[in-house]
Amino acid sequence: MTFILLALVIAGAGLYALRGAFAGISGLHVTGLDRDGMGMGLLAILAAGYFWGPTYGVALILVVALHEFGHVAAYRICGHSDARFRLVPLMGGVAISNRLPASQEKAFFIALMGPAIWIGPMLLALGLSDLIYDRAPAVGDFLWVVGQVAGALNFFNLLPLYPLDGARCIRYVFFTFFPSQITNLTYAMSGAMLVVALMMHSILMVVFCLISARQMLQSTDLVRIQRRMGKGRALLCLGAYLATAGTFYLGGENLIAGFL
């Protein structure tokens, strides 16, 4: 019960941190709901269910959707009222804004909040799964799967492999201390991503790497025009990144071990 109360506190703290994203909003507003968008979302759900089974497929869609909402909420806190996201079949999701974050600190916050929004819900799902498993095994099992998928997927997303969120976070911290080496770092993280894709024999990941390669140099140039953060803030950001990644590793350890 203590663990569940802690999870509720953390989830509440997350909602409080994102309260600015809901300022002036009454109820839930869905924008950009068109036939193509609905079709892509449905295809994403069907693809996840086909490749990973119904339970893991539904859990994966929930994790990806809330992850991308975390990015959108962070964008809106930073003044990007146009922020939105869309599910992409077999590739996850993508959060979009028409404007570049004004500062590297804001860009770091936006990158980290995609995974970080899941810390409270992940802990709550894992805690409740143990509490109710004896009374409702099916529900308990589903909550355990959601917690494991949330931990494993967000941990992987925070690895320093470009263009994952982890690489974006590391680049902003790295640029504060070694601005002249940011291009070399980006090349290294992009190459590491390609190596991982080849080791996993994942054609989708290879394609993802190739698609993102053409954006790599442009994104490096964009980092340079954003307002830099101080070294003290950069160290705080690094601490937040490491704590978030470590929490997800512990939460999804069983599922992560299955891939190692």
Q: What are 85's strand-pairing partners?
A: 95
* The pair of three-digit structure tokens given for residue 185, joined into one six-digit string: 């770092």
Task: Determine the structural domain holding residue 169 and report its residue range.
Answer: 2-259
Phi and psi at residue 238, in whole multiples of 5°? -65, -40
Phi and psi at residue 96, in whole multiples of 5°? -130, 140
132-165 pLDDT, tens digit each:
988 999 999 999 999 999 999 999 999 998 888 9
Torsion angle of the four alpha carbons 136, 139, 145, 147, in this order, in degrees rounded to the nearest 10: -100
How many distinct structural domains can be found in the chain? 1
Q: How many distinct helices (H) and strands (E) make up the chain?
A: 11, 2
**What is the model's pLDDT at position 65?**
85
User: Can you give the pTM of this predicted structure?
Assistant: 0.82
Alpha-carbon distance 209 to 170, whole Å?
18
State the sign of the Cα–Cα–Cα–Cα dihedral 68, 74, 76, 79.
negative
Residue 26 pLDDT greater than 50, yes or no: no
180-233 pLDDT, tens digit each:
898 888 889 888 888 887 887 777 677 777 767 667 766 777 787 888 999 999
